[in-house]
Amino acid sequence: MQILFCGLLIAAIAGIIIFYLMKEQIKTAQLITENSIININPIEMDKRSVCVIISCFGILIGGKPYKFNREGIRLLKVDINTTEMTFCFGNEEKQNKIKVLHGLRDTSEIEKIAEKLSYETGVVPTVSNW
């Protein structure tokens, strides 16, 4: 009986932790979506269409949020070239890099996006190969 109770207690605690983590991911995804700077039309990734949203609080790729400018995680660098944008973010211990295909062809569009990213995030993007 005690073993069953202990097992149920552990399962309940694990469930609460998983629920909390999922709630945090949903909250981050909502924050990114509500404050979007750039919406990239669905791209094909692993044989499925994925929408990409970039905001001053992070990047949402197909429902998976990558947060920055919150909870000690900072956007460190943005590079934009003719085909992709690279975002480097993290803290002193850990840093991540995400590359996103942007599909933009017009130089003026790139300049507007770079200006908007700079204004919203405080990080001036490096634009190259134009």
Q: Residue 1's pLDDT is what? A: 74
pLDDT digit string, tens, across residues 37-91: 888 876 666 677 778 899 989 999 888 999 998 888 999 999 999 888 999 999 9
Q: Residue 45's pLDDT is what? A: 63
What is the fold of 2-127?
Answer: PH-domain like (2.30.29)
7 versus 45: which is more confidently predicted?
7
Domain boundaries, the chain: 2-127
Which residue spans within 24-94 are E strands per DSSP? Answer: 36-45, 48-55, 58-61, 64-67, 74-80, 84-90
